[in-house]
Structure 1
Amino acid sequence: MSKQPLEKIGDRLLSVPANGDARREYRIIDGRPVLVDFETSVLEESTVETTAAASEVERANYSGMSQLIKKMLSPDKDGTRKHIEKLREQLATSEGKSRVLVIGGGSIGQGMQPLYDDPQTQIYSFDIYATPNIQFVADAHAIPIEDGFFDAVVIQAVLEHVLEPEKVVGEIWRVLRPGGTVYADTPFMQQVHEGAYDFTRFTESGHRYLFRRFDLIESGSNGGPGLQLMWSADYFVRSLFRSRIAGKIAKLAFVWAQLLDRFIPEEYAVDGASGVYFLGRKTDRTISPQEIIEHYQGAQ
């Protein structure tokens, strides 16, 4: 998608052509622009229009006892809170409000609330479906924002759901200002979730190499083998009895396993982690294949 200025005409946005380019038209649905190139996206234009950009994946609303159980099964990770605090420390060195892009911000991710509450942070958020938490609908493979606009980008539990992670990370690099910060949190050992919209997993080293055009601030495991054991119990029993409910009961029975992660050294956690994270700074340098071998942080 070319990054051209837009003008509003009725319930449409039209690109302002440059050098004789044809104008591109975008819908505004419920007050939110849908800035998607449907020719290159998994989204279908007719479906987006007829559903008012609703999520293709069913997303449950939890309350009462179900909310309590959900909290037990998917607690906020201490690691995420620490990583977001580290990101806020990086942003605190900038003057004025920091512009932060949240990719996949249809819901506020675990451990992310302090970033949203920070008065020195201006959050911009988008997803491939519409919710009150986003400003526009877009596909992360073609972010409709000019180069170098953001001070930081956060992409939490999203890269497993995109077809071309390297293309998305290239877009992140493009929309960040020089020296801008990225925080990414991505599954490693987790089973498939969100069905047909789940594509990829990363080891810690593979995740680091994905962000090879960024200088490393911190990286490692985020959710250890104990948390992954709980996930495995869910999917084993779910598969054996062909029942999601049975799986959730098994997951609840293994909720204690995640508590043991605090006793596992990081070098062992990295090799069997539920997820991995990367905190880095945009640079013009690209790490080499030899450097990624030297980067390995595991116990093997």
Structure 2
Amino acid sequence: MLAEWGEVEHLMRQPGNPSVPIILYRRGATITEAKSELSGARAAEYPVVHGQPALIDFSCSLVRADVLTASGISAIKRRPNWLRITKGWLFGTANLSARNVVSFRDHVLSHGIERPLVLMIGAATKGAGTDGLYETEAVRQIAFDIYPSAYTHFIADAHQIPLASGSVDGVCIQAVLEHVINPEQVVSEISRVLKPGGLVYAETPFMQQVHEGAYDFTRFTELGHRWLFRNFETISRGALGGPGLSFYWAAKYFLRGLTRSRLLSDVLSLPFALAALMDGMIGEDHKIDGSNGAYFLGRLTGTSIPLSSIVDEYRGAQR
């Protein structure tokens, strides 16, 4: 369940300078101002958008202050959440996400910490399969995105997470790393805010065409995803959707290019969805080589995979 502000506001820090606390001012339960604890010229004030502080250093972020504060939403145009979730359950990826999220939750709880705190990144809409986390009172969530919603506490850029170091027990980041300009920096920030031995659960696309327009930068093979989280010990990892789902994506975008219509291409590509339904007939190794995305569940350690050993982590069919 989402944490109350009073439980987590002491963790807030200046973006890019986690040694400096953020002071939140309230009128009743509503946040009205947010300032750094520094005094004089070094002090920083942050806008409050729809009651949520926008804790972003706009001088080094793709998020534009004028767009955010003018409308309260980001420049990214997202598809309706119900449509994305429906497709996920239809193709089986949401079932796998749900099982993985429950496993993530159970590993966080296994540390024996009373009401552990999990950071949800990019959580303005509920991620596929995350109900197992949100509906568990034994686990609290603190959440942010680049625009406010009922599921977020604050607005932030994941390159500079405005939380104290070693302040959370787990981090969940679904379908976000493709939209950041520097995934390595974001994962470094995840490692910083996690407590020693903390858990991460990540989902990131591989064989997907550009979505969310100009705010789409990067893809990862399953092995590349493992390298991205090289400072974590693997609990589980693998493909999220196989070559059938990747084929469906390709067919849909091919038809979109021919018709110049998103709606028409969505309709005409429906027969190709049968390919996605056949992914259940494909072995995990072949799924990995043609995966639509990758997932990783791991534990933060004090060591990293050596560069010379990363090829030994390959789990695809071309061995």
TM-score by length of 1: 0.93
Question: 1:164: which partner in 2?
Answer: 182
Equivalent residue, structure 2, for 1:42: 62
CA contact (8 A) 2:24 2:35 kept: yes
Deviation at 1:129, TM superposition (A): 0.8
AA at the equivalent of 1:12: E
Residue aligned with 2:234, SS: strand
Aligned length: 296
Partner of 1:5: 21
Kindly indicate whether the alpha-carbon contact (under 8 Å) linking 1:62 and 1:70 is maintained by their aligned counterparts in 2. no
Equivalent pair of 2:78/2:212 in contact (CA under 8 Å): no
- Matching residue of 2:36: 15
Match of residue 118, structure 1, among 116, 120, 136 = 136
Question: Which of residues 89, 93, 107 is equivalent to 1:90?
Answer: 107
- Report the Cα distance in structure 2 between the residues aligned to 1:118 and 1:105, rounded to whole angstroms: 17
Q: Judge which range, 206-215 or 21-30, deviates more.
A: 21-30
Q: Offset of 1:8 from its aligned partner?
A: 3.6
Query: CA separation in 2, counterparts of 1:228 and 1:70?
Result: 13
Are the equivalent residues in 1 in contact too, given 2:143–2:152 (CA < 8 A)?
A: yes
Superposed CA offset, 1:129-170 (max 9, x none): 111110000000000000111110000000000000000000
| Aligned equivalent of 2:9 | none
Flag structure 1 segments of 5+ consecutive residues without an equivalent. none
Deviations 1:14-70 (A, max 9, x none): 11128x871111112221011000011001112211112x1312335478xx79975
Cα 1:235–1:72 shift into 2, 3 Å: farther
Secondary structure at the counterpart of residue 186 of structure 1: strand
Task: Please give the root-mean-square deviation of Cα atoms over the aligned residues, in Å.
Answer: 2.1
CA contact (8 A) 1:76 1:111 kept: no
The 3 A distance-change label for structure 1 pair 256 and 210 is same
One-letter amino acid of the counterpart of residue 306, structure 2: S
> Under a length normalisation based on structure 2, what TM-score does the superposition of the two structures give?
0.87
Alignment partners' CA distance in 2, 1:133 and 1:68: 16
Alpha-carbon distance change, 28 to 215 in structure 1, aligned in 2, over 3 angstroms: same
Corresponding residue number in structure 1 for 2:5: none
SS at match of 1:57: coil
**Structure 2 residues without counterparts, runs of 5 or longer:** 1-15, 27-31
% identity of equivalent residues:
42
**Structure 1 residues 191-226: Cα deviation after superposition (integer angstroms, max 9, x where no partner):** 110000000000011100001111111111011111
Distance between the aligned counterparts of 1:124 and 1:78, measured in 2? Answer: 24
